[in-house]
Every structure is written in structure tokens, then in C-alpha cells.
A and B are shown apart, each in its own frame.
Chain A
Amino acid sequence: MVEQAASGTNLRKKLQRTVRRKKIEAVGLTTPLFCVMLIFYFVPIGLMFYRSIDNSQMREILPATAKAIQQWDGEGLPGEPAYAAMVADMKHAYPNRTLARAGRRLNFDLVGFYSLLLKSGRKVSRLGGPPYKAALIKLDKKWGDPRYWKVLKRGLKNTTLIYLLAALDFRYNDNNRIVGVPDNQAIYRSIIARTIYISLSVTLLCLVIGFPIAYYMATATPRTRNILMILLLLVFWTSLLVRTLSWIVVLQKKGVVNSLLLSSGLVSHPLNLVFNRIGVYIAMTHVLLPFMVLPLYSVMRGIPPHYVRAARSLGATSIVAFIRVYIPQTKAGIGAGSLIVFIQALGYYITPALVGGPKDQMLSYFVAFFVNERVNWSMASALGVMLLVLTGSFYLIFGRRVGITNIKLG
């Protein structure tokens, strides 16, 4: 008896040890990839978030002012120490060329600051001794305007919300309150709305076009099904750039579509089919269609035909049976396909950039625009944060409901 009990606990211990070893092995095998992704993916994304609020370089450019301005309560004009500190900082920062950077940053908050700083920086070395307050105001009367000092005080904190606010068309007013920007300057909210609108339209188009072919493939003979699947996968595997390029060639003024339309007499002038919204819809739907068809098809393949037959035998017409019995069974496929297409569409950059006009560009385009054309990494990051939050929230809201993790690929 005693021996048996001992060997029992032994066995349990052995089992526990094996299970533990397996767990350790499992963790060990996943560690290399996780470390690579942590360093080269998640840390960078975290940095992007930080970058959208980071303001620390301002304190490095204007250190004395940053210290002195803390003593000022923000009412009226600051005292002589702040002016003296500003003069000292400008004397140092102007030859280093960092003053221009500070100017650009402050100009983002209040237009006119860039020219003020550059002008003052150029002339500051010729200023006499103290008192500097009167001297600076004499140099440029903007230094006597409390608005500039308020912006400066706000601009010398370690973090700033101005980029994130700007990405939603908000800004600080003269009283440090957050207000909407004037209508003629508001752009980003409409860009976000446009991004969602285009993505929804493309999703809907994919569903309308994808549903019939998924249904046809799911119910066709194996031979037809195989041929159609191969054609679909061929399109799926063809490079996105190749497909976009093809559409430009086909849809241009002298392209195949227009010459067919002209020679058939349907139109008398070539239509504008590309470099506008129509082109974006045609090309994006084409690129994303397989992502709708594949999940729909795999769900439809699993639907037994009995229910529709039962409905028919109970007297339902084929249309009623299809709408009330068949379509509800495809819900999982519709949900998964729509979510994949929608989320991918939200982040699209290449296709709209190539086949769209200026008014068809989506959020991604403006992220790239601020990096490549404006060299404003903070604003690019703020728009990136908006795009990521937008994508993430749609994913979290709908992802669990449609069970997106169950989708198989290939």
C-alpha cells in the first residue's frame, strides 16, 4: 500500500515535470520571434505614439526660457527675467540653426511665430544690455503681445497635445481652452469621414459582387468550382501594384474600356474613369474582392442544402427560401469578409494614391504626406495614431463578434 502510494505521487510528480518542461519549451520556442517583434515592431509603434505628444526638444532649444517662464502666471506679460532668458536662448540657438526648428514648432500653434523668432534671432546679437523687455518689444511689437507668450509657455512643456488635437481639427485658443478650428481650416475630420465612407462603400461593393460568385462557386460542380477558384486565386496572388497599373491602363481616356464604349456607341466622348473616385472604387473593389469571397465561400461550402429544400417543400418560393433561410446561414461569412475588407480598406494608401484624385486620398496618404513632403514627424505620428485607433476600435468592436481569428488562409 505504502509503496503504491509512493509510486503514485512519483508518477504525478513526473507528469507535472513533463508538463512543466513542455511549457518551458513552448515559451522558449516562441521567445526569439517575440523578441524580434518587440524590438522591431511594438517598440517602434510605441515610439510613434510617444512622438505624437513629445515636445522635449523645445526645452533643449530654449532651456533658460523654459525655466524662467515657469515663474510667470500666464496673465498679461511676463517680467524681465523671461525676456532676458529668451534673449540668451536666441543668441545661442540662432547660430546653431535650432531656432528655426523651434519657430516651425511654435508656428504650428500660432502663425507668425516662425518669422518672429527668425527676425529676432538675426538681430538679437546687436541688442545692448538689459533691460531686455523694452528692447525686444522695440525690436518687434509681437513680443509685447501676451498671445505669443502664452503659446511659448504652452510650447515649452515636455509634452503637447497640439498635434493630436490638430488631427481632429481642434486647437488651443488664446485662453488655453480647446476649441474647434475655423471651418475654412478644418480638414482632418472630413478626411477621417472620407476614409470611413470610401472603406464602407468598397466593403458594400465587395459584398454585392462577392456574394453571387461565392454562392455560385459553393454550389457549382467540382470542375467548375476548381476552375473559378484558380482564376480567383490568380487575381488574388497578382501584385497589388500590377493590378492598380492595369486599371490605369485600361481605364484611361484612350484605354480599352473607353474605346469599347465609344465604338459601341454608348457614349460620344471618352469618360473620366480614372484619377477620380470612380477609379478608386473600381480598383479598390478589385483588389479587396478575394478577401470577401474566400471567407464567404468557406462558410457557404459548409451549409447543408436540406434547410432550403425543407423551406421549398413547405411552400416557400425560391426567392423567399433564399432570403429567409439561406442568407441567415451565411452571416458568419458576411461578417468576417466585411470586417477584413473594411479594415484593410481603412489603411489603403497605394491604390488611392495612384488611381485617385486629390479629393480621394485617405488618412494613410496624409501620414505619408507629412513625412515625405512636410518633414513634420509629429503630425504624421498624430495622424498615424488616429488611423491605428480607428482600425483598432473597429477590430475590437466587431472582431470578436464575427470570430475573425477562425479565418483560414490559403
Chain B
Amino acid sequence: MALSVHATVGERIWYYAFRIIIGLIFTYLLFPLLAIIPLSFNSGEFLHYPIQHLSLRWYRDFFMSGHWGVPIQNSLIVGFSAMVLATVLGTLTAVGINRADFPGKQLLVALLISPMMIPLVITALALYLFYARIGLNDTYIGIILAHAILGVPFVLITVSATLQGFDYNLVRAGASLGASPMRVFFKVVMPNIAPGIVSGALFAFAISLDEVVVVLFIAGPAHRTLPRQMFSGIREYLTPTFLAAATVLIVVAAMLMVTLEMLRKRREKLNRPIENAAAE
């Protein structure tokens, strides 16, 4: 895309104009996030510039006051449990789906992926009505199950993607050397598809950490999660503590993203020799 020496005036103008447009779009993408981070270090109680003094006051409020402690704890409990459940069920299913063709497989996959496409409010309402009958509203287990179901499609997709690059001859090799199927799975398959599993798990955790619609319906006051607390706070009273919370979540997102990118690179590296071999 470099500008050629023979470019006409029009092409030159377009070359720079296009870069300005791209710059503006990325400003639009990043600007709101970058704008609130400095404000969270403001000592004043206002949510706008200029910054009076730098202070960690709002971070202290976020981490130390009991107001936020319970939601943070709830989010972590729900997030980890939902992640484990989604990852175990999703990985088993992905392995099963990639093992053999069976009647109705396409339909099954479509059904298992559907929580990704069905509006959250539908999931929330359906679970609320169902939980009202069996007494699971206002319980951890209810929220964990809901979040696990929302996270499963992502585990399925990432693990399936790694399994497609997995060389099944390795399984045969393991079996021919006398390992039991379980041993082959844990010693041969697992290490090879681990990057996919970890990616899927992180996806599932991130989904739970960000989910608020379902929690709004099925969680009681004792099970407020961090996003739920933020949602009601934004509606009722916005304080700089919310900006501190937002900044912490941006940092968490950045860490998740970096980890996932590293895993993706590793996955690509793992898959490459096989693809090359197949091409030859």
C-alpha cells in the first residue's frame, strides 16, 4: 500500500485522506476508553476534565469499601465456576463431535451454538420463568449454570478449531504402544489441544464477567455481580468509583487479550507442520 513514485496528485491526496479517515475511526474506537482512564485518578468528585489533583481515592473506594467487595467476590465465584463447567462440558462435546459423524450432528451443533445468537433477554426471561418453578432464582448455582451455557459455544468453537489441526495418527501411535484411551486422551490429545481449551476457558470467563442481562433477571441482591452493580449504578448515580472499576476492567480485558493472542500464535505454530505435510 506504499505510495508509488508515479502516483498522480489525486492518488496522493487520496492516500493521505484515507490514512486520516483510518486515524479518525481508530480515534472513535479508542477515545472513550482513553478518556475515562485519567479521570479515574482525579481527586475531585466530578466526571469531567480538568483534573484537579492525582489521587487513588476512587481505587481505594473500589477495592476497600464493602460496597464493591461483595460484587467483585460474586463475579469471581460465578466466573470461575461457569468457566470450569463450560470448559469441561464444551471440551468433551468438541472431542465427541470431531470423533465421528452421527445422524443429526449438524442440527446438534447448531443447537449447542444457539445461545450465541439468541438474544440475551430471551435466555434471561426463559430461565427466570423456569427457575421460578424449581426454586433456582437468587442462587449461585442458577447463575453459574446460565453463564456456563452462554460460555459453551465459545469453548466448542475454539476447541473444535484446534482439534481440526490435530493429527489423529498420534492417538493411534499412543494406542499401538499400549496406552488406554483415557491415558491417550490426557497424555497425547490434551497437551496438543491445550491452547484451544485455555482460549475457550478465557472466553467463557470473559463472557461471565461481562454478562448483566441474565443476572438482572435471575439474581437477588445477595448475588449482585460486578456488572450488575455497575448497571444499576450508571442508572442511578454515577461516581468516579465507576471509572476506577471501568479502568480495572479495561486492564483485565487487555490481559485477557494478550494471553489469547499468545495462545493463538502458539496454536498456529502447532498446526503449521501438519498443514504443510497435508499440502505436500
Binding site for B on A (CB under 8 A): 19, 22-23, 25-30, 32-34, 36-37, 40-45, 47-48, 51, 209, 212-213, 216, 219-221, 228, 230-250, 252, 254-256, 259, 286, 289, 318, 343, 346-350, 353-354, 364, 367-368, 371-372, 377, 380-381, 384, 387-388, 391, 395, 405, 408-410
Contact = CB atoms under 8 A, between A and B. Distances in A.
B25 A26 contact: no
A236 B30 CA distance: 11
Contact of A233 (B109, B129, B257): B257
Contact of B11 (A27, A318, A384): A318
A391 B230 contact: no
B127 A388 contact: no
Contacts of B99: 22, 25-26, 29
B234 interface: yes
Contact of A34 (B33, B49, B112): B112
Give the interface SS of chain A, mostly helix, strand, loop or mixed.
helix
Nearest to B97: A30
A410 B199 contact: yes
A32 B39 contact: no
B21 interface: yes
A347 B249 contact: no
Contact of B96 (A26, A236, A248): A26
A76 B40 CA distance: 71
Contacts of A51: 129
Nearest to B2: A221
Interface residues of B, number: 89
A26 B26 CA distance: 45
A216 B18 contact: yes
A238 B230 CA distance: 14
Interface of B: 1, 11, 18, 21-22, 25-26, 28-33, 35-36, 39, 46-49, 89-90, 92-93, 95-97, 99-102, 108-113, 115, 117-130, 133, 145-146, 148-149, 152, 154, 157-158, 161, 199, 203, 206, 209-210, 212-213, 216-217, 227, 230-231, 234-235, 238, 242-243, 246, 249-250, 253-254, 256-257, 260-261, 264
Contact of A239 (B21, B130, B253): B253
B34 to A, nearest CB: 9
Contacts of B119: 346-349, 364, 387-388, 391
A212 B108 CA distance: 37
Contacts of A255: 47-48
B129 A32 contact: no
Contact of A242 (B92, B109, B249): B249
A402 to B, nearest CB: 13
Contacts of A219: 1
Contacts of B93: 29-30, 32-34
A228 B22 CA distance: 10
13 contacts: A29-B92, A33-B89, A40-B130, A47-B126, A47-B130, A213-B25, A228-B26, A230-B261, A231-B29, A232-B29, A241-B234, A254-B48, A409-B157
B120 A259 contact: no
A313 B111 CA distance: 49
A245 B246 CA distance: 8
A230 B257 contact: yes
A282 to B, nearest CB: 8
A42 B112 CA distance: 10
B192 to A, nearest CB: 17
A347 B89 contact: no
B238 A248 contact: yes
A241 B108 contact: no
Contacts of B261: 230, 233
A30 B238 CA distance: 45
B134 to A, nearest CB: 10
B96 A256 contact: no
B264 to A, nearest CB: 7
